[in-house]
Chains A and B, each alone.
Chain A
Amino acid sequence: MEADTRARWGAVLTLVVGALASFAGACGGDMGGRPGGSYANNGGRPQCGALGVACVGQKLDAPIALGGTFELDVRYQIAGSSGPPTTIFSAAPSVLRVDGARLTAVGQGVSAVLFLGPDDGVLDFLHLWVQPATELRIIRYTPAGAPLGRVQPAIKLLVHDELLIAVEPFANGQPLAGNFELTRTLQGTSVAIVPDSVSGWYRVVARTPGTTQVRLGALGLSTDWSIEVEP
């Protein structure tokens, strides 16, 4: 009976839960984390709910960084119906706190996230992990948003060069999901670093010859970056 019911529901209901970063536009301040474009373009298989009736449309392929936030975008495809009103519910508030569609990672561990329908019944659920970050990495992207790779701790630019970067958390070599407040301190005036107009990218613009020491901080970690600009 259960298998038939699941199969019928699986055919009728496809719940698409997307994980979207909420960066500068939504949050106002300077934010770090994996840019939203990478979620849509990284080409991995989507994760599905534990009951097999819901899937994650965009990749939820990593733990969320402890102290970070994660915005859930819930979408449904139900034959004969629009998506029902949904409430997101955390099984363990000591691990994940929920405010509307935003999750805040407050404790290390795992917590199920339940998607509740208008009758307060469970449509499906996913388990999400929270992990403390051990390292911040600077990742360079193309103007189209494709990741190019990790930026070296010391680089050289020519005047008028421009880089598109993001500061992303890792734990023991594994990239972490989530967004967080990012601080940046510059010693020197040879470069300017400004948030991009969308997502979590930053534009690094070489302005005048000289050297600038950059310190980027988030989630209780920091990373140093030396940029030398040549004429």
Chain B
Amino acid sequence: MTDPTRTLLRAAGAALTLLGATTAGCVTELPPRIELYPISSAPPARTFEVFNRDDKHSIVVPIGVAFGVTTSERCTRPDAAKPQLRAPEPGLSIADASILDARALTRTQGRHEWVLFGVKPGRTTVTLKGECATQVYEVDVVSGR
């Protein structure tokens, strides 16, 4: 192989490496996010819904129905990528507990799992606050569905 050919191949390799590094840097720039996910089912003839969409986060639950939820949080801080020995401890607060109430699950000492339940029909909000993100859910407690 001639010297000009070697030089050309080295230049092409360097360009590909630079392109790959640039692309990888763009992909990792995701915004912080924290969300609730159900871990139990509704009783027969009743349904609850937890919507986690980019444009809307909401919960619909009938009166008297309870369901367990867990949290998932994504951080973009450099130190958040380091291995952690303990789970994050997000907080959950409810604007009007007479409409929707919550209790922590004993099995995780309330760190990131709760039971939510509809108390009476109405509308309120749930605020989930983690280490790097906060998410507000609009909640509708309905009379029966």
Contacts and interface: CB of A to CB of B under 8 A. Distances in A.
Interface of A: 2, 5-6, 9, 50-51, 53, 89, 91-95, 109-112, 114, 116-117, 119-123, 125, 127, 129
A199 to B, nearest CB: 29
Nearest to A120: B103
A122 B115 contact: yes
B42 to A, nearest CB: 8
Given A92-B119, A127-B43, A9 B107 contact: yes
Interface stretch (B11-19, B20-28, B62-70, B131-139): B62-70
User: Which of B107, B109, B144 has the most C-beta atoms of chain A within 10 angstroms of its own C-beta?
Assistant: B107
Prevailing SS type, chain A contact patch: mixed
B39 A51 contact: yes
Given A92-B118, A122-B104, A122-B115, A110 B67 contact: no
Given A2-B70, A51-B40, A92-B118, A121 B109 contact: yes
Given A92-B64, A92-B118, A122 B106 contact: yes
Contact of A110 (B40, B43, B68, B108): B43
Contacts of B144: 109
Contacts of A53: 107
Contacts of A123: 106-107
B118 A91 contact: yes
A91 B101 contact: yes
A89 B106 CA distance: 15
Contacts of A120: 103-104
Contacts of A50: 40-41, 43, 66-68
Contacts of A95: 63-64
A91 B66 contact: yes
Contacts of B41: 50
A208 B114 CA distance: 64
Interface of B: 39-41, 43, 46, 62-68, 70, 101, 103-110, 113-115, 117-120, 144
B64 A112 contact: yes
Contacts of B62: 110
Contact of A91 (B64, B104, B105, B113): B64
Contacts of A112: 64-66, 117
Given A2-B70, A95-B64, A122-B104, 6 more contacts: A92-B120, A109-B64, A109-B144, A112-B65, A119-B110, A125-B66
Contact of B63 (A2, A94, A121, A122): A94
24 contacts: A6-B107, A50-B67, A91-B66, A91-B101, A91-B119, A92-B63, A92-B117, A93-B119, A94-B120, A95-B64, A109-B64, A111-B64, A112-B65, A112-B66, A114-B103, A116-B103, A119-B106, A120-B104, A121-B105, A122-B103, A125-B66, A125-B117, A127-B43, A127-B46
